[in-house]
Chain A
């Protein structure tokens, strides 16, 4: 059964870069069907889609975050990663990685447990 696990620092200083990784277990990140996404949920607020990647390196980003976001894939580690630059307190959130199963799917059917990242000095 496919499982996703987020990892990375839980505390990031303002103006620094947030870096997280998502490891895929029970399946290959290079599966021709799957797309991989990052989402976040600020405390007490709704979900926000950050971006999606395919194992070939193709990426799609939320226009509101595009200037600060980079999502990449490391097939050797079966991981994909998120980098968010110039963070502020507004970037404090639980960050989730998730799967979109097929190119013609429009839902995220598998999610990691989430990891809380706090932006504070």
Chain B
């Protein structure tokens, strides 16, 4: 079980769109439509933003969207706002009741 691969950092200006990738294997991301994304501002606990690849929990703005192609999942944030400045983590079900996470991506809103 290896960690999922995310870019260490991405950035964008207010109003722009950014996409964060999350690459795994056929044993996790590619094998299941069970990818979730979490937002973590500094000093706080992770907050669920996307589940099952592209579903948003109630209360999450529709500026946040998720997708998947093969072994890579993506989180897209459109219409960037200052409050989106945070770390983002992907997670995937990896079979046999196990989960794997990514190393995290720091989003900087310029």
> A: which residues have CB within 8 A of B?
39, 45-49, 52, 60, 62-64, 96, 105-109, 111-114
User: A46-B3, A62-B1, A64-B1 known; A106 and B103 CB under 8 Å?
Assistant: no
Q: Shortest distance in angstroms between B44's beta carbon and chain A's nearest beta carbon? A: 8
Closest 7 CB pairs of A and B: A106-B34, A60-B97, A107-B36, A46-B103, A107-B51, A49-B99, A47-B101
Report the number of A-B residue pairs with Cβ-Cβ less than 8 Å: 65
> B: which residues have CB within 8 A of A?
1, 3, 6, 32, 34, 36, 38, 44-48, 51-52, 57, 89, 91, 93, 96-104
Q: Most B CB atoms within 10 A — which of A60, A107, A113?
A: A107
Contact A47 B91 (CB under 8 A): yes
User: A47-B91, A64-B1 known; A114 and B32 CB under 8 Å?
Assistant: no
Contact B34 A63 (CB under 8 A): no
Q: Please give, as numbers and ranges, the residues of chain B lying within 8 Å of A96 by CB-CB distance.
A: 45-46
User: In the bound complex, what is the Cα–Cα distance between A49 and B2 (angstroms)?
Assistant: 12
Chain A interface helix/strand/loop/mixed: loop
Q: Shortest distance in angstroms between A43's beta carbon and chain B's nearest beta carbon? A: 12
Q: Shortest distance in angstroms between A39's beta carbon and chain B's nearest beta carbon? A: 8
User: In the bound complex, what is the Cα–Cα distance between A63 and B95 (angstroms)?
Assistant: 12
Extra contacts besides A60-B97, A64-B1, A107-B34 (18): CB < 8 Å: A45-B103, A47-B91, A47-B101, A47-B102, A48-B101, A49-B91, A49-B99, A49-B101, A52-B97, A63-B98, A106-B32, A106-B36, A106-B51, A106-B52, A108-B36, A108-B38, A109-B48, A111-B45
User: In the bound complex, what is the Cα–Cα distance between A108 and B35 (angstroms)?
Assistant: 11
Q: Tell me the nearest residue of chain B to A60, going by C-beta.
A: B97
Q: Most A CB atoms within 10 A — which of B46, B51, B99?
A: B99
Contact A46 B1 (CB under 8 A): no
Contact A47 B46 (CB under 8 A): yes
Contact B104 A47 (CB under 8 A): yes
Q: Please give, as numbers and ranges, the residues of chain B lying within 8 Å of A47 by CB-CB distance.
A: 38, 46, 89, 91, 101-102, 104
